[in-house]
Chains A and B, each alone.
Chain A
Amino acid sequence: MTSYALFLGCTIPARQPHYELSARKAMAKLGVELVDLEGVTCCAPPPVQSIDLETSLIVAAYNICLAEEADLNIVTLCTGCFESLAVANNILKENVMLRTRVNGVLSCLGKEFKGKKEVRHYLQVLLNDVGLNYLRRSVVKPLKSLRVAAFSGCHLLRPSKLLRFDDPERPRIFDTLIEALGAESVWYRNKLKCCGGLLRGYADDVALAIARDKIVNAAHAGADCIATLCPFCFLTLDLGQVLIKSTYKEEYDMPIIHYTELLSLSLGIDPKELALEFHKVKIDKVLDKIGLNLP
């Protein structure tokens, strides 16, 4: 059985149990073991990088060390965690000078970054470990006629030189995995552009304007929902619609759904087990369309 160290990060366990539940349940169903590690910390995402880039590299390296010690590759759900850890992992594997500096600090914790493990995103595990064919065969409730606006979030793709996830200008992996569930991945303008989430708390007006643009474009393309992978994108677009309503007096009613939720639903997992009440914008429209009405 394939095993991964599950790196949940800070936001998902503390704010978005629907993401964690769907992710865990789907992987269990698809035969991948997810191991929770003791002693993990914050991944040191952009807010920490903004304060001190070198510290953030060391914190990321520390977490990778834990996986190295457990002899497991890391899988992340949050694309922010994916970026922090994968960038650190790949930089430190290549840059000997930086690795020496980082290990100098880690040695006071009795740790050493060895560069022997990989940091993967959930989608990569689906694509490479589970496999598209097995995934397609496991779908019991195909999401037929569902038009999904895929939004992977910036940090799954960029910086592409260090993440090496997919073609940064023509990504296909996320769309392929959406289509594997029987849904349609629709093109919409500025699909690859940011949701503005990282400006929340500093420039809320700008962040909201960017989020609104995203939702307008998806709605314009006739999407039934926006599929996300990142808890920040989810928050920005889901809670964002409440704010858009109060600020712009506009209502889009665009469901924001984590990909793992769509996956779980298509694998036949009972919607009641998925804590769907954590959606601000209700997703009943989507459930209706795929024939899964909440009782």
Chain B
Amino acid sequence: MEAAKVGVFIADCGGQISKVLDIEAITNFVKNIDGVAFVARNSEFWRGQGLQIIVEAVKNKKINRVVVAESIPKISELAITKAVEEAGLNPYLVEVLDLKNHCAWPHRDAPLEATEKAKALLLAAIEKAKLLEPIEKAEFPAVKSVLVIGGGIAGMQAAEDLAEMDFQVYLVEREPFLGGLAAMAGHFFPTDDCAVCIQSPDLKTISRTSRKCVYRSGFSEIPNLNILTNSRVVKLEGAPGNYKVTVERKPRYVNEKKCVACDLCASVCPVEVPDEYNAKLKTRKAIYINKPLIYPPVYVIDEEACKFHDCARCVEVCPAKAIELDQKPEKVTLNVGSIIVATGFKEYDPSVIKEYHYGEYPDVITHLELARMLDAFGPTNGVIIKPSDKKPAKRIVFIQCVGSRDRRWNPYCSSICCMISLKHAIMIKSAYPDADVTICYIDMRTAGRGYEKYYERARELGVKFVKGRPSEIVHDPSANTLIVEVEDELLRRLLELEADLVVLATAMVPSEDSKELAGILGLELDEDGFFKEYNAKLRPTETKRRGIFICGGATFPKDVPTTSIHSHSAALKAAKFLLHGRIVKDLKVAFVNEEYCSNCQICPVTCPYGAITLVPKENGHFVARVSALICEGCGICVGTCPVGAIELTHLRQNQIQTQIRALLSINGTSNPLILAISCSECGHTAVDSSGMSMMRYPANVRVLKVPCAGMVQVQHILEALKAGAQGVMIVGCKPDGCHYEVGSGKAQKKVEMAKMLLKAYGIEPERLEMFHLIYVEGDRFAEAARIMTENLKKLGPLRL
């Protein structure tokens, strides 16, 4: 490789630098550093004429490394690297430092000391620059097709969006029919219309002005959309952009293309089982269809229920010859670039809350069961009955927070149950004004546009609200009545509410196969079992797995409006990911020196993104290998590898070492030198903001930037102490806000371990401290730097 010729560009920031620092002395110092071929000064270098100076210097081939002292963090770096790249130099041969916010401003009271520190900062940047290597871009193919798992309201909307954007979409639904939980709900808030009503697709052939039932919307006829019902994902292989997904399809035993839904088969079927779709309030045959507004509009045979394959009465009677009892399960392999998980949630089984006797007293039901009753197409044709004796129910009590906000079962608020109860109470009171409806609640939560109006409407209709969570439901067998024992807290009086029907507003919990699916896809679940997003604030539908997205109730219980927003977001993210049919990525990644890899298997577990796998080598050995496509370049693996076999392309070990030595080679203060190793995320921005907001801290503190605090090795700490640091600060994100998930937490543990090690070496463990900061805590960085300095002064000089 060509010898390094470094160009150094020092911005004065409109005199802000020279006001404090002796910029002449600094320039002379830089000029004399080995390898420096060009030095320029200007007010600024990241735009306009200043940037042109850099471009000229690169173009004229005077230099092949660029070091810029600028003062607009991040933005200046992006502008400079882009210009340098356009000028023909690899953008990773650029090093940008900040003399204003990291030196001149925080040390403005001590210009001499600050000038010496500036020299050290520049020396470190120049020495690092000399070791920089070009980093190339890689291109990975991406299939423009998406798998959507879950055919409920979330999955259907995401599938529709993507199909209409010309992606091939596979919609995989576990059940034999689309619609999910929503289809069972009958009516919806806040639109008071049918649950099965969805937006007609945006096709030229079909009017988009209306919303129609799933089966009339034309949803199934969208080009590029392939619907696989009765199917589930069993295996995932490949990489983002190019997955191979194995889907297992259960036989339907009815040929979808032939069935005419004439119902003759069901009429002769001898098997009757409880109908799950109708919350078991009704029975259905072993061959059945979830009538009437459903997709696909064809029958299915419930394998479990149909135990008499020999009977075949349905086969004989079918006029379309659609029934094929010899269908076998099949496996389909799909090649997709991206995956969206939309598996929804389900009602919690409240029978564990024994004081409510669900499953024991037939007249204690859940909201879903009530919803089926309220549905004109439902098992009771819209009449509310007591399941125990089928008589009309006149006195109805709702109990909120059943299994929700309950540390024993599900600690979270399920968020939609208050609204469901209000909706159902209003429906009942509207249809049966003489019905006696009471809602027992802990807190009514009606956050959402128009939601409070439901609360108001319910009061208007005479729904009674009792603030208090019932302790028990008692059955009085003589009158076949339920008694709800509750305290009316506002009256401070114990009530015994007589009821014909008690409706439990149960918690909403993850779908049952969430855990299995998370295992197959390599996704994380949160403590409640819902799919965990990459970042709750800004990336709510992305996951740690690049290319896999989540939406709807699979992430937390949601109402339909929020589910819609969520699914469109996931669709957009998937589309953005696959838009160009290829994924282009800078190879700022980790790589393994296979010679040193000892097959200890730590790094694959450590990597928060699953980028590292073990690949077999000859004679039964395995070595770690990093997927450049998946790797985020955080360096946590580097910090964890016990034999130092992993390095980052964008921050090699020799670059770290040379910076440590350079930063500590000049003191210029009477204070003990401190090396602060900060992550490039919250940690470094806190240092930036400390300077930007004019905080003061002594110039003996020198900052070294690494991608993530999790990258820090004990070796780095020891090297700093050897190179003259009297103490080391590790500055990272908050452990639960780490931009690389686990890095800051791992760093904290490592610091604790290193402290013990230092103690064993006879070094005071107080010389090492970890700080967790966020951007706005610049004042806390300055304070930490001051306190650390004071503490080290008290400890006296380090004796190695």
Contact = CB atoms under 8 A, between A and B. Distances in A.
Interface in B341-382: 354-355
Contacts of A167: 354
A169 B474 contact: no
Nearest to B477: A187
Interface in A29-50: none
Contacts of A170: 354
A170 B354 CA distance: 7
Interface string A172-206: 00000000000000000100000000000000000
A170 B355 CA distance: 9
Contacts, number: 5
A167 B474 CA distance: 18
Interface in A156-177: 167, 169-170
A275 to B, nearest CB: 38
B474 A189 contact: yes
A170 B352 CA distance: 11
A71 to B, nearest CB: 37
Interface in A221-272: none
Contacts of B474: 189
Nearest to A161: B408
Interface residues of A, number: 4
Nearest to B485: A190
A189 B354 CA distance: 15
A169 B351 CA distance: 12
A169 B474 CA distance: 12
Contacts of A189: 474
Nearest to A193: B472
A3 B539 CA distance: 64
A170 B353 CA distance: 11
Interface residues of B, number: 3
A113 B474 CA distance: 43
Nearest to B356: A169
Interface string B472-490: 0010000000000000000
Interface in B446-479: 474
Contacts of B354: 167, 169-170
A154 B693 CA distance: 63
A26 to B, nearest CB: 32
Q: Which of A167, A169, A170, A189 has the most CB of B within 10 A?
A: A169
A186 to B, nearest CB: 12
A45 B290 CA distance: 60
A151 B355 CA distance: 18
Nearest to B352: A169
Nearest to A168: B354
A189 B476 CA distance: 9
A187 to B, nearest CB: 9
A189 B496 CA distance: 13
B487 to A, nearest CB: 16
A105 B355 CA distance: 41
Contacts of A169: 354-355
A152 to B, nearest CB: 16
A169 B356 CA distance: 10
A170 B359 CA distance: 14
Contacts of B355: 169
A169 B355 CA distance: 7
A149 to B, nearest CB: 16
A279 B474 CA distance: 33
Nearest to A169: B354
Interface string A53-74: 0000000000000000000000
B484 to A, nearest CB: 14
Nearest to B360: A170
Nearest to A167: B354
Interface string B90-133: 00000000000000000000000000000000000000000000
A170 B474 CA distance: 13
B495 to A, nearest CB: 16
A189 B474 CA distance: 8
Interface string B131-172: 000000000000000000000000000000000000000000
A167 B355 CA distance: 11
Interface string B316-357: 000000000000000000000000000000000000001100
A221 to B, nearest CB: 10
B589 to A, nearest CB: 46
A170 B472 CA distance: 13
B694 to A, nearest CB: 47
B469 to A, nearest CB: 16
Interface in B387-409: none
Nearest to B353: A169
Nearest to B354: A169
B308 to A, nearest CB: 38
A281 B264 CA distance: 70
A292 B754 CA distance: 80
Nearest to A170: B354
B14 to A, nearest CB: 61
A172 to B, nearest CB: 12
Nearest to B474: A189
A209 to B, nearest CB: 14
A218 to B, nearest CB: 16
Interface string B49-75: 000000000000000000000000000
Nearest to B483: A189
B403 to A, nearest CB: 14
B359 to A, nearest CB: 12
B497 to A, nearest CB: 16
5 contacts: A167-B354, A169-B354, A169-B355, A170-B354, A189-B474
Interface of A: 167, 169-170, 189
The 5 closest A-B pairs by CB, nearest first: A169-B354, A170-B354, A169-B355, A189-B474, A167-B354
